[in-house]
């Protein structure tokens, strides 16, 4: 890890990626993702990345398609897809994928469960209604 951080420090503009093999990534408009996170935070922590114009919520593998059936967004899934992760420029964790005190990985939710919160956020705020 220290070597990776050293490399990043010596390479301005470099970033890190994570292949979407052990999770599906829901890439949604930032306002929609953040509105959904308000209600999701009351239910269970959902790993979430934010960037300038989008949010990325991580769910169980092969379940992401259920989350974006009725909301704008895309699913990244499988060994040929990836997402940028911190400390990549302009990418930060809203909710890290581990419990802060113990570094224990969070349990991922099913995409359908997260999708209900995205749908409610879309309906209640009008967030992300344009595709």
Label residue 127 by pLDDT band (50, 70, 90).
low
Query: How much is the pLDDT for 69?
Result: 87
How much is the average pLDDT of 86-107?
Answer: 92
d(CA 89, CA 84): 9
Instruction: Dump pLDDT digits (tens) for 8-64.
Output: 778 777 788 999 999 999 999 999 999 999 999 999 999 999 999 999 999 999 999
Instruction: Dump pLDDT digits (tens) for 99-112.
Output: 988 889 999 999 99
User: Residue 52 carries which DSSP code?
Assistant: S
Query: How much is the pLDDT for 67?
Result: 95
> And the tokens for 68?
């974006």
Return the half-sphere exposure (C-beta side, CA atoms, 13 A cut-off) of residue 117: 23
d(CA 129, CA 75): 17
Instruction: Dump pLDDT digits (tens) for 67-85.
Output: 998 899 999 999 999 999 9
Q: Indicate the pairing of strand 92-95 with strand 54-59.
A: unpaired
The residues that bridge with 29 in the sheet, in sequence order, are 54
């Amino acid at each position: 890890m220290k070597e990776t951080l050293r490399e990043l420090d010596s390479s301005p503009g470099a970033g890190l990626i994570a292949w979407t093999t052990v999770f599906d990534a829901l890439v949604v408009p930032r306002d929609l993702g953040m509105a959904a996170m308000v209600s999701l935070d009351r239910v269970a922590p959902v790993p979430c990345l934010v960037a300038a114009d989008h949010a990325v919520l991580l769910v169980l593998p092969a379940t992401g398609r259920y989350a974006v059936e009725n909301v704008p967004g895309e699913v990244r899934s499988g060994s040929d897809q990836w997402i940028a992760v911190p400390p990549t420029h302009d990418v930060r964790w809203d909710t890290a994928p581990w419990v802060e005190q113990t570094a224990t990985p969070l349990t991922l939710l099913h995409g359908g469960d997260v999708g209900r919160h995205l749908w409610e956020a879309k309906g209640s705020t009008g967030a992300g209604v344009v595709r």
